Amino acid sequence: MTLASKITLGRIALVPVFAVYVARYGMSVAYGTPQESLRWTALALFIFASATDGVDGWIARRFNQKSKFGAFIDPLADKFLLITAIVFLSAFPWGAGDWRMPPWFAWLVITRDSLIVLGIILVKRAAHDVHYSPHWTGKVCTVTQMIAIGWVMLKVNILPPLYPCLLAALFTLWSAVNYYLEASRQIRQRAAT
């Protein structure tokens, strides 16, 4: 197993630890005694885990450690971290006035990612191979989801969390449509040959 893959697995191992800190902080807020050290620890874990995504990619490219396992596990680790953050930040309050991500946003993200996995399975069965290059809407989707997560965790009180979640929802839906169109194209192309 390559060093890059070990770092990716380390990122996956950090996700449940991050979730525990998010839950503990949320419970402290719910009980009216917010323990800010828990919030800052959760934020530090999220930033560190997110940063390892760049590190493992750099190591894989720099030291020629690209592997099929790494190509499979890296995006899975990213999704695991993002979905865990979104679900836990919608399940637990992070401040006064029910400061949290709206639960509908968590459902939207889970539904989109589940449909993408289902689409990959269907394309694989119909076309026997999946060819997809990331589209800019998918990248913007990830960035806006991370902004929404940061907005809640940092308690940026310029606007309620609803607004960054609405922006992220727009790109979540847009990228889902692009994935659907690409999957349909590949299935039609395979059927034509």
User: Is the domain covering 1-95 a CATH 3.30.530.20 domain?
Assistant: no
In the chain, where the domains are located? 1-95, 101-193
Question: Residue 189 corresponds to which tokens in the numbers above?
Answer: 């192309």
* pLDDT value for 73: 84
| C-alpha gyration radius of the chain | 18
* pLDDT value for 93: 93
pTM: predicted TM-score of the whole model, two decimal places: 0.90
* pLDDT value for 122: 77
DSSP 133: P
Distance between CA atoms of residues 60 and 4, nearest Å: 6
* pLDDT value for 104: 97
pLDDT-derived band at 182 (thresholds 50, 70, 90) equals: confident
* pLDDT value for 131: 66
pLDDT above 70: residue 127:
no
pLDDT above 80: residue 98:
yes
* pLDDT value for 170: 97
pLDDT-derived band at 174 (thresholds 50, 70, 90) equals: very high
Task: Share the mean pLDDT of the chain.
Answer: 89
Candidate from 87-91, 99-103, 124-128 with smallest mean pLDDT: 124-128
Q: What's the mean pLDDT in 52-72?
A: 83
* pLDDT value for 16: 97
pLDDT-derived band at 163 (thresholds 50, 70, 90) equals: very high
- Residue 60 has phi, psi (to 5 degrees) of -60, -40
Distance between CA atoms of residues 169 and 71, nearest Å: 26
Distance between CA atoms of residues 106 and 90, nearest Å: 7
Q: What is the pLDDT of residues 113-122, one digit of tens each?
A: 998 888 778 7
**Buried b or exposed e, range 144-164, using 16+ CB within 10 angstroms:** bbbebbbbbbeeeeeebbeeb
pLDDT above 80: residue 164:
yes
Candidate from 4-18, 63-77, 151-165 with smallest mean pLDDT: 63-77
pLDDT-derived band at 133 (thresholds 50, 70, 90) equals: low
